[in-house]
Structure 1
Amino acid sequence: MSEIEHYEPYKRPGYGTKGRAAVYRVNYFELKKLPKKATSIKYAVEITKPFITATTGRASNTPREQTPLKLEIKRKVFRELERKKGKELFQNVSYFFDGNNTLYSDKNVNIKTNVFRSSVLLNDDHDAHGRPNEFLVQIFLLQDPLNLNELDTYIQGKTFSWDFFNMDSLKALNDLMHTTPASRYVQFKDLILDPNTRKSLGGGMELWAGFFESVRPGENALFVNVNRAHSVFYEKKDLVTFLREYLKLSDLPATFSREQRDRINSALAKLRVRPLHRPNVKNSQSIECISSKKAVEHTFPLSETGETTNVKEYFKKHYKIELKYPHVVEMQKKPEVWPLECCEIVPGQRVALKNLNGEQIAKNITFTTALPKTNMETILREGVGHMLNFANDQKLKDFEVGVDTQMAVVPGRIMNLPTITYHSSSREGPKLIPNNDGSWNLRGRKFIKSGVPLKYWFVICCVEERYLPRLDIENFIITLVNTCRGQGVTIDMGRPEIIYVNPRGDFKKTIQREYNNSREFLPNKPQMILFLLPPEAKSNNKRDKQMFPDNVYDRPLNQSLYRDIKFMTSTVLGLLSQCIVADKIHKGPSYCANVALKINLMLGGTNSILDVTEISELIKEPVMLLGADVTHPTSENNRNCPSICSVVASVDLHGSRFIDQHREQKRTKEDSKGVKKNVSEEKILEMQQIVKELLTEYKEINRCLPKKIVMYRDGVSESQYKMVLEYELKAIQTACREFKDKEEKTYDPPITFIVVGKRHHIRANAEDKKNTDRNGNCLPGTIIDRKIMHPYLFDFLLYSHSSLQGTSRPAHCIVLYDKNKFDTDTLQEFTYKLCFNYQRATRSVSIPSPVYYAHLSAKHARTHVYEGKLRRVHPTLAKEFPILLQSFAGDIDLKHLGGCADRRGSSGFKASLSLKELHASRYRYRIQV
C-alpha cells in the first residue's frame, strides 16, 4: 500500500492554448520599485490600559490582563503618540505602524534604553466615570529584521513553501500600502472606506464606499489589487429611533412579540452604544440583548443607602429623566442595564448583511452595482488617483516604493461554447448551442428524462386573498401545469386545491394542520405542496408589475416561512415542497419553465446533459466528480448551532446526476489553556467516512468503482490549502484504499483536487468590445492564466457566466493536486463546461456544478436544524420517491438514486436500470443525519 508522507502543491504544468486569443486590462497595478534596502528594522509595539491599583488609584507600569484592544483604538493611540512624541522618536527616520503590534523603520528609532514607555490619553475615549482613558505604549527592538529578499524568491516561482502565504515581508508591504490611506479614512482589514460617502439604506442602516487594496504576487512581479468596495454600517442615532425604523413601526409597543424580540436581538447583539443620559461621557459599551424584564422590574440596592430601587426610579431621581419606554437592554458588562431611550449607537459599526431587509438589499444593490467600464474608471479615478493616491503617497516615497498608476494588461483566451442536449423528441431538436452570454431557451425542448408522475398535490398561499386573488393563482397554476407538461413532466392533477393561511404565529403547526386536512380532498397522501410566500421587496425593474402595497413585502417573514417549510416537509412529513414568491406569478411561461426545471428534478428526472463529445475525458473511463462545502451559522443567536459540511458525488456517465452526504460538525475547540470555545471548523472532519459511503453508492449503482476522482472544493482560503491537502485529500485516499477492486487489489484511483474561490477582488475588462457581452463583461469561456497569476501554483481565472447586472467576478480555480496528469487545456475546458451542467437553470453558472450542488446541499441542510441539532430526513421520501437523484436541487436530503442512473460492467457503461429493476434490487435507504 503506497502512502503519501508529504503533500506538496501541484506546480503549474504549463499554459493553456485552446480558444480565441484576447487582451484584457485587470485591476492589478504593478509595483515598479521596491525598497532598495533588503532588510527593515522591526519593533514590537504593545498598547495596553495601565492597571489602576485599588489603594492609590494611580496607574501602575505593570499592565493588567485584559481583552485585546480594538485595532481602531490602537491606531488612535499611536497617532496620539506621534503627535506627542513624534519628533523625539522618529527624527530623520522613515517608519510605518501596522495598526496592531509592529513598527517598521529604515533605521533605528531614537530609543535611548531597551524599552520606550509612554502614557497616552485619548480625549474622545472615556472610562465609566467620564475620565479620558489612559493607555500605556511600549516599544522595543525585535531581533529578527524584516527580510525583503524573500519576495524575489517567491515571485520567481522556482520553489514553494507554505510559509509564503504568511510571509512577514508581504504583510509588511501591505501595511505600508495601507498606512497613509488609513490615516485619512477608515480601515477594516484590506478595506479603506470613506464615511463622507454615506448613503442611507433606510431602517437605521447606511452604506459607505471605498476601495479594497492588497499586494498580490504575480509572475516575476508584485501587484497591488485595487477594487471598489462597500460596507453597511449602523447610522448614528438613539436606539428608540433606530428600532422604530428597523421594525417599521410608528412607535414602539409596550411589549415586543417573540418574532420582534428575535429580530431586535439579532440586530443589537454586540452593538456598541454611548450613554445619552451622560452627554459629557465619551465611553461606550456593547449590548448583550434586549431584556425580557421591564425597567421597573430591574431592581438593585443603592450603594449610598442600601435602599432598593429600580431602573425607572433611579433615572428619574439621578438624571431627572422620566422614561417614556419600559424597555431596557442588558450590557455585556454585567449586570448593567441601560434604558433603550438613553442609548446612542456609536458610528462606524458594520452591519451583517443578514440583518438587512428586502428594501435595504435592493437599495444596496442599486448603489453598489456598476458596469465594467464604470467600475474600472472609478478604480482609476477615485481609487488610485484620489483615496489611495499612489503617486503622492509620502510613506511610499520614504521607502522608495513605486506603483504603476495604470492597470496591468494581460493575455487571455475565449473557449467555445459547449453543446447542450435535450430529449430526442424535442420540437426544436435535441441539441442546442447557448447564446454568447451562456444562456439558452427551453422553448420547444423536452427534458432528457421525466420523473415520476405528480398525482397528488395542493397549494398553500401565505398572502391574503385580497392581495392575491384566487383567480390569479388558478391562472398561474394552469400556465405552470401546461408548461411542465410541454416539457415532458407528467402532472395528472391539473387543478390542485388552493388554501389560504395566516403566515404569522407557529407556521410549523399550520403546515401540519393543512397536511392533515388534505385527506379531505385528496384520495392519497400528497406528494408535494406548492407554497406561495410573501414577496421580499419591491423590484427596481420598471418592467416588473408592482402587485402589492408596502406592508405585504416582508423579507424576514419570507425567510422564516421558508425555513419552517423545508424543515416540516423534509424531516417531519416526508414530502416535496416548492416555494414561489407571490410577486412572480405574473411572470408568464418563461418563469414557469424555470419552476418546471426544479419540479422535474424533485420528481427524479434529468433536465439536460452535455453532449458526449463535450466531455470526452469523462467517458473514457468512469470518473466520479466530487464537490464539497462547509457552512457556518451566521447569527449571534445561533452560536450553539452546528456547522454543516456537504459532499456531493456524480454517479452517471454525463456528470449530471449527483448524490450527497452531509454532516453536522462540532464547533467547540479547546485552546492551549484547555478553555472550550465556539470555533468554526473549515476542514471536513468526517471526509473519510463520507467518501466511503459515496463510493459504496457509486459501486452499487454502476457495478464498478470510478477509475478517476476529481474533487472541486469550495470555501477554502490560501491559508487553508495545506490543511485540505494534508487532511481532506488524505482522507479521500484512505477511504479509497478501504475498497478492493475486482481483482482484490488495493483501490487507489488517481485524484485531482481543485479549490474554487469566489471571494477575491480580481476583475478583468476586455480591450476589444467583440470580446464582451452586452453589459461589457468578459464573455463566458474567458480564461486568464498568465502574468497576474500565482508564480508557482497551477491556478487560472474562469469567466463561465454572464452577470445579469454589474461587473462579473471570475472563479479562481487552484489545482492543488493532480495525479490524473490532465493537461492544462483539458482541465480548464472541462471545468468550464461543467458550469453548463447545472440542472436548475438554463444558463451557465459562475462555478462548476459540483461546487454549486455542494453549496446548495449544505445550505438546505441548515433548514433541518432544530434546537441546535441537525434533524433526520423523513424516510418516507426515499420510499415514495426511489429515483430521486438531485436531493439538493429538489429541496430534500436523500442518499438514494435510481431510474436512469447508468451502471457499468467491465466493458463499459451499460443500459440504465429500469424502474422495475430498481424496486426489485434496491430497498436499502441510508438517510444521513
Structure 2
Amino acid sequence: MPPRSQNRPGPRGGGQGPRQAPAARGPQQPVNPPGEYEWRVLRLRLFIEVDTAQHITTVGVRRPGYGSSGRPIPVYVNSFTVEIPDSTIYHYDVIANDKVLPSAMNQRLIKALQDNIAPGIFAETRCVFDGRKNLYAPVELNLGGDSREFDVSLPGAPASSDRPPRIYKIRLTRVATINTEILHRFIQGQQSHDNTVSTALMAFNVAIRQSPSERFPTKGRSFFTEEGSKAIGAGLVLWRGYFQSIRPAVGRMLINVDISTGVMYQSGPLISLCLSYLNLPGNNPLALTSRLDNRMRLKLSRFIAGIRVDTRDPRRPNAPGSRPPRVVRKLSQEGASEVTFMMRDGRSMTVARYFEETTGTALRFPTLLCAEVGQGALIPLELCFVLRGQLVRKEIPDEKKADLVAFATKKPKERLESITKGMDILAYGQSEYVRKFGLTVTPQVVSTQARVLNPPTLKYGQGSKAPNVQPRNGSWNMADKKFFRPSKIATWVLIVLDGRVNDNLLADVSRGFVEGCVLSGMTVTNRDPIVKRINGQSKIPPQLQAAGADCFAKYKLPPTLFVVILPEGGNDLYTIVKHWGDVDKGVATQCLKSRNCTRANLQFWANIALKVNVKLGGTNVVTDPTSSTILSDPRTPTIIMGADVMHPGAGTHGRPSYAAVVSSVDSYAAKYVAVHRVQASRQELISDLSEMTKYLLEKYMAYRTAIEEVPANLKAPKRLIFYRDGVSEGQFQQVLDLGSFSLPSMFQAERGVTTNRTSPHQRLTSLLEIMTITDNVLAACEELKINLKITLVVVGKRHHVRLFPQNDRDADRSGNCPAGTVVDRDIGHPTEFDFYLQSHAGLLGTSRPGHYSENNLTADTMQALSFALCHVYAGSTRSVSIPAPVYYADSVCARAKIHFDPEKTVGDFSDSGVTDTSDTLEAFKRDFKALHPNQMGRQYFSLTLLCLEMLSVY
C-alpha cells in the first residue's frame, strides 16, 4: 500500500441524489475543430411564434413546404441510409452500486455481468449499454420478474486474505417495451416524436457504437484510433476518429458519419509527460523537484489531475503493475525524499525510504515530486506510467490550437474519402450488436438536391462609386466604397506597449490608419495622434489616463479613440486595455499586434477601419430591404435578437456562465447593441432575459426615434425574430424533438393553452428554455406596452452534417459548396420545418452548414433572411457562417473576462483545470463590472472574423 500524505482529504461525498425517470442522454461532443477558416453549416429551427395580443403559443412547427429559390445543384451528404427492422426493443434501467461510477467502469461491470455472472440470462443475445443507466436488448431478458439485483465483481480484480474482491450491486429493471413500428411511422410523418421514439433512437445509437467502444477510446458518439496520430508537444497527442449517429430524416433513417479528432495525453512515463507539458528538456527529470516554480507546479498539477496511471515496480519498470490503474489527483509540494508520513508502528518515514524498503530498490530520482492518487496515497513520479488512449477533457493550451486545427483540416474530397473508408472500420455488417438489433446499412453516401441562393444586394454610403454591391462566392471588396453611415474621429491617441516598435514604424502606423479610415468614408479631424510609449510591466491604466490628458491639453477635446499596439502574447495587456476602455472610461479602443503592423498595407488598414467605425457608432454596410421581404415592409418594423451562453472550460468548477443578448436597433438589422449577465454555472436558461429584452427594446425604439426619425407611433417593433445559439448537439436534438409534445400541465392554466397530457419528463429542460424565452420576452413587451409577434429560431452549429458538391463545376475554389447552398429536403426532420444553410465561402478544410428552422414564414422567406443576416457582420467583407446577431452574442460572451478587474483573480476563468475555488456566484456578480454608459449604444464588441472563429470553435 503506497504511503498517504498526512493532510489527505476526508471520504468522498456520498450517494446519488434522487433518481429520475429513465431518459435518453444527449451525446458528449468530440473534439472536432474546423480548419482555421473552416466555417460552419448551420442547422436552424424556428419553433415558436407568439402573438402578444392573444397570448397563444404553438410549440413545434410542421413542415408546410419546401423552398424553391436559387440555382439547383446535386450534393452528397456524409450520411448513409439504414434500414430499421420491424421488431421490439426492451429498455432496462441500470442502477450500479450506491454512487456514480465512471462510464468505462460501468461498461466493464455490465460486460462482467453478461460474460461471467449471469451468462444464461444473456445467452440469446448481447445487450448494449450506454455506460450510464440505460441498457437495451432485442429480446426480453428472463429476470424472473420486472427487476433483479446481481452481485458483480470485476474479473482479475486483486484479492487478499484481508480484502476480498469488491462486490458491486447492479439492479436491472425493465422500464419500457418499444415496437419499432413507431419509427417507421415517425419518418413517414404519421407519428409524433414522443418518448418511445426517443428511446428507440437511443437504443439503435447505442447499438452501433457498442462494438467500437469495446475496441477504441470513445467520447460521446466518437471513437478514436492511433493510426496516423501526431504528437504536438505539451504532453498531447492527436488521434483521428469517427463520429456516428442514427437520426431520422424525411422518409428514411440515416447514419451520419464524420471524421473527428481526439486530443490524448502522451502515454508512457509520467515524468516525460510532465517535462513535455512544461516544455523542459526531456533528459532533465530533476527539473521536477520541489524547487519547481510554485505557479508552474500548480499549473502542472491541474493538467495531470484525472490521468490514470499504472504504478510500476522499480525492479521491473517495463512490466505492467500488478494493481489496477490509479487516478492522479494532484502533485505533492515536496519531493519523495522530503515528504514524510507515519507508519502504523509509529515511525516517521519519507516516501523515498518507504519504497526502497518495500521494493528493495532505491529510487533513481528521490528528489522528484510525487503524484497523489486515491485517498491521499503518494507515488513517486518515476514509478507512474500514463496509460494509452486517455482523452484530454480540459481545454488545450492556446499555443497548441493551431496544431489541432492543422491536423483536423481536410479538404472536402479528402474528408469524403476518409468517411467512406471509415465505413470499413465501422464494419456495421460485422458487428454482433448491429446484427442482433436487425440494422442494415447501405454503404453509399446519400445524394440530394441543394439550391444556391442569390446573395443579398449590399448598400454602401454616399460618395461610393458603386454603392450597390452583389457579393460573389461569399465575398466582396470595399474598393471605392464608403461606409453606409461613417463615424468621426476628432482626436486619437496611439499607445505603444511593445518596446521593439521603432519610430519609423509608428509613423507608418499613424499614416496608414488615417488613410484606411478616410478612404472608407470616415472623418479624421486631427490626423496627428498623441503618441505614448508605455512599459508593459508597469501600471497601464494611469498611463492611459495620462495620455488622454495630454490629448485634451493639446486639442481641448477628450480622445475619441485609443489605438494600442500590443506585443506578441499580450493577452493580459489586451484585457487591461479593454477593461479600462470599455468599463472604466467609456472610450473606444482598437488593439493591434505589432507583428501585423510591420507588414500592414492599405487593405489591412481598411479592415481595421471596419472595426473602428462601428465602435464609434457608425454602420458599415446594410442589405437592401428587397433582399429580405421581412425587412422591407415599413408597416411591420422587425427587430432581430441573438442570444448565447458561454460556460466554463471543461473540468472547471466554481465558475459562472455568461449570458449575452444582442439586438438590432435600425431598420436594416445591421447595427447592434448588447447586454450581458453573470449567471449560475453551466445553466443554459438565460436568467435575466426579461430585463435584458426590455433594455434592448428601449434601445431599438430610442434609435428609431432619434436617428431614423420615424414617427412615435411607428417606433415600436411589430415583429421580433429571436436567434438562440449556444446549445450542444445533444441539447439541440432534444429541442428539435419538442415539436410534437404538448405543454406541461404546469403551464396550462397560466397561459390558457389547450393541450394534451403532460410531456415526457426528459423533455422538460428543453421545453422550459423555450417557455422561458417566450415568457420573458412577453413580460418585457407587456411592460413596454408593445404588441408584436415573436419567432424563436434555434441555431445548430455544432453538428456533423457536411455537404459535398457532386460536380467540380459546382464547387468554389476551396472545393466546398458555394456560399448560399441550402438543403431542406431528404436530410431534415421528418415532420418539422428546418433546413441547412452553408452561408459562407470555404477557404481551408470542409465547410460546415448551419441548421435552421421556420414557423409561419415561408421557407424562402426565412432562408433569405438568415442568409442576408450572414452578410452584415461588421468585421468582414465576407459572408459569415451564422447570422450576425448570433456571432455578436458569441463575441460578447467571449469578452466576459474584461468586465472583471484585471488586478483581481475572482473573474479569471482562463484556467480550465479542476479548481478548489470557493468563490460563489454572488462574488462573481459583485465583481462583474457593468459596461460604461458611453459604450452602451456602440458596437464595442466587434472582433476580427478570424479572432472570433478561434474564440468560438474551442
> Shorter-chain-normalised TM-score: which range?
0.7 to 0.9
State the one-letter code of the partner of 1:157.
G
Counterpart Cα distance in 2 of 1:722 and 1:274: 45
State the one-letter code of the partner of 2:497.
C
Matched, 1:449 2:492: no
Measured after TM superposition, the shift of residue 230 of structure 1 is 1.0
Matched, 1:19 2:67: no
Matched, 1:171 2:202: yes
Matched residue SS, 2:154: strand
Counterpart Cα distance in 2 of 1:469 and 1:316: 60
Counterpart Cα distance in 1 of 2:815 and 2:784: 51
Counterpart residue number, 1:376: 416
Between 1 and 2, higher relative CO (CA 8 Å, sep ≥ 6) is seen in 2
What does the per-residue CA deviation read over 1:521-570, in whole Å, with 9 as the maximum and x for residues that have no partner? Answer: 773665444333444xxxxxxxxxxxxxxxxxxxxx44444333323332
Counterpart Cα distance in 1 of 2:402 and 2:574: 20
Measured after TM superposition, the shift of residue 223 of structure 1 is 0.7
Counterpart residue number, 1:429: 466
Counterpart residue number, 2:720: 709
Counterpart Cα distance in 2 of 1:129 and 1:561: 61
State the one-letter code of the partner of 1:220.
G
Counterpart residue number, 2:666: 652
- Report if aligned partners of 1:129, 1:281 keep a CA contact under 8 Å in 2: no
- Report if aligned partners of 2:63, 2:832 keep a CA contact under 8 Å in 1: yes
What does the per-residue CA deviation read over 1:245-282, in whole Å, with 9 as the maximum and x for residues that have no partner? Answer: 22222353754556535643542343333435676344
Going from structure 1 to structure 2, the CA distance change for 1:633 and 1:69 (only over 3 Å counts) comes to same
What does the per-residue CA deviation read over 1:728-764, in whole Å, with 9 as the maximum and x for residues that have no partner? Answer: 1121122212222xxxxxx321111111110100011
State the one-letter code of the partner of 1:623.
T
State the one-letter code of the partner of 1:280.
G
- Report if aligned partners of 1:316, 1:322 keep a CA contact under 8 Å in 2: no
Which of 246, 249, 257 in structure 2 is aligned with 1:226? 257
Counterpart Cα distance in 2 of 1:531 and 1:117: 67
Matched residue SS, 1:407: strand
Which of 771, 794, 808 in structure 1 is aligned with 2:847? 808
State the one-letter code of the partner of 1:41.
Y
Matched, 1:590 2:603: yes
Matched residue SS, 1:152: helix
What does the per-residue CA deviation read over 1:662-715, in whole Å, with 9 as the maximum and x for residues that have no partner? Answer: 111123xxxxxxxxxxxx110111111111222222223324211111111112
For structure 1, the residue ranges without an aligned partner over 5 or more in a row are 49-64, 536-556, 668-679, 741-746, 892-929
Measured after TM superposition, the shift of residue 624 of structure 1 is 0.8
Counterpart residue number, 1:824: 859
Counterpart residue number, 1:35: 85
Counterpart Cα distance in 1 of 2:54 and 2:352: 70
Measured after TM superposition, the shift of residue 856 of structure 1 is 0.9
Counterpart Cα distance in 2 of 1:11 and 1:335: 57
Counterpart Cα distance in 1 of 2:207 and 2:306: 31
- Report if aligned partners of 1:312, 1:322 keep a CA contact under 8 Å in 2: no
Mean alpha-carbon deviation: is it higher for 154-163 or for 680-689?
A: 154-163
Counterpart residue number, 2:805: 766
Counterpart residue number, 2:700: 698
Matched residue SS, 2:268: coil
Measured after TM superposition, the shift of residue 824 of structure 1 is 1.8
Counterpart residue number, 2:363: 321
Counterpart Cα distance in 2 of 1:130 and 1:575: 71
- Report if aligned partners of 1:7, 1:726 keep a CA contact under 8 Å in 2: no
Going from structure 1 to structure 2, the CA distance change for 1:185 and 1:578 (only over 3 Å counts) comes to same
Going from structure 1 to structure 2, the CA distance change for 1:560 and 1:824 (only over 3 Å counts) comes to same
Mean alpha-carbon deviation: is it higher for 860-869 or for 200-209?
A: 860-869
Measured after TM superposition, the shift of residue 630 of structure 1 is 0.7
Which of 918, 927, 939 in structure 2 is aligned with 1:886? 939
Counterpart Cα distance in 2 of 1:121 and 1:824: 56
Matched residue SS, 1:718: helix
Going from structure 1 to structure 2, the CA distance change for 1:91 and 1:731 (only over 3 Å counts) comes to same
Counterpart Cα distance in 1 of 2:847 and 2:528: 40
Counterpart Cα distance in 1 of 2:344 and 2:535: 55
Counterpart residue number, 1:105: 137
Measured after TM superposition, the shift of residue 779 of structure 1 is 0.8
Counterpart Cα distance in 2 of 1:840 and 1:374: 31
Counterpart residue number, 1:271: 307
Counterpart residue number, 2:647: 632
Q: How does 1:111-130 map to 2 (within 5 A)?
A: 115=148, 117=150, 119-123=152-156
Going from structure 1 to structure 2, the CA distance change for 1:764 and 1:693 (only over 3 Å counts) comes to same
Counterpart Cα distance in 2 of 1:683 and 1:365: 31
Which of 568, 582, 592 in structure 2 is aligned with 1:570? 582
State the one-letter code of the partner of 2:189.
G
Counterpart Cα distance in 1 of 2:371 and 2:356: 18
Mean alpha-carbon deviation: is it higher for 260-269 or for 701-710?
A: 260-269
State the one-letter code of the partner of 1:609.
V
Which of 197, 200, 212 in structure 1 is aligned with 2:231? 200
Counterpart residue number, 1:900: none
Counterpart residue number, 2:838: 799
Going from structure 1 to structure 2, the CA distance change for 1:812 and 1:700 (only over 3 Å counts) comes to same
Counterpart Cα distance in 1 of 2:324 and 2:579: 44
Mean alpha-carbon deviation: is it higher for 469-478 or for 760-769?
A: 469-478
What does the per-residue CA deviation read over 1:499-521, in whole Å, with 9 as the maximum and x for residues that have no partner? Answer: 26346xxx7x3444454466567
Counterpart residue number, 2:734: 719
Counterpart residue number, 1:538: none
TM-score under structure 2 length normalisation: 0.78
- Report if aligned partners of 2:492, 2:529 keep a CA contact under 8 Å in 1: no
Matched, 1:153 2:185: yes
Counterpart residue number, 2:10: none
- Report if aligned partners of 1:186, 1:195 keep a CA contact under 8 Å in 2: no
Going from structure 1 to structure 2, the CA distance change for 1:402 and 1:326 (only over 3 Å counts) comes to closer
Going from structure 1 to structure 2, the CA distance change for 1:42 and 1:241 (only over 3 Å counts) comes to same
What does the per-residue CA deviation read over 1:315-362, in whole Å, with 9 as the maximum and x for residues that have no partner? Answer: 56556326454544555x45444444444333333225632342x322
- Report if aligned partners of 2:86, 2:180 keep a CA contact under 8 Å in 1: no
Counterpart residue number, 1:531: 564
Counterpart Cα distance in 1 of 2:703 and 2:588: 24
Mean alpha-carbon deviation: is it higher for 235-244 or for 368-377?
A: 235-244
Counterpart residue number, 2:626: 613
Matched residue SS, 1:75: helix
- Report if aligned partners of 1:271, 1:286 keep a CA contact under 8 Å in 2: yes
Matched residue SS, 1:355: coil
Going from structure 1 to structure 2, the CA distance change for 1:132 and 1:413 (only over 3 Å counts) comes to farther
Mean alpha-carbon deviation: is it higher for 594-603 or for 144-153?
A: 144-153
Counterpart Cα distance in 2 of 1:694 and 1:865: 23
Going from structure 1 to structure 2, the CA distance change for 1:353 and 1:530 (only over 3 Å counts) comes to farther
The percentage of counterpart residues that share the same residue type is: 27
Matched residue SS, 1:167: helix
Which of 450, 471, 494 in structure 2 is aligned with 1:458? 494
Counterpart Cα distance in 1 of 2:128 and 2:650: 37
Counterpart residue number, 1:853: 888
State the one-letter code of the partner of 2:300.
I
Counterpart Cα distance in 1 of 2:655 and 2:384: 30
- Report if aligned partners of 2:724, 2:794 keep a CA contact under 8 Å in 1: yes
Matched, 1:732 2:777: yes
Matched, 1:365 2:418: no
Matched residue SS, 1:501: coil
Going from structure 1 to structure 2, the CA distance change for 1:603 and 1:115 (only over 3 Å counts) comes to closer
State the one-letter code of the partner of 1:75.
Q
Counterpart residue number, 1:623: 638
Counterpart Cα distance in 2 of 1:92 and 1:293: 56
Which of 377, 387, 406 in structure 1 is aligned with 2:425? 387
- Report if aligned partners of 1:18, 1:413 keep a CA contact under 8 Å in 2: yes
Matched, 1:354 2:400: no
State the one-letter code of the partner of 1:485.
V
Mean alpha-carbon deviation: is it higher for 470-479 or for 223-232?
A: 470-479
Matched residue SS, 1:193: strand
Which of 59, 64, 73 in structure 1 is aligned with 2:105? 73
Q: How does 1:824-843 map to 2 (within 5 A)?
A: 824-843=859-878
Counterpart Cα distance in 2 of 1:130 and 1:798: 64
- Report if aligned partners of 2:530, 2:550 keep a CA contact under 8 Å in 1: no
- Report if aligned partners of 2:819, 2:841 keep a CA contact under 8 Å in 1: yes
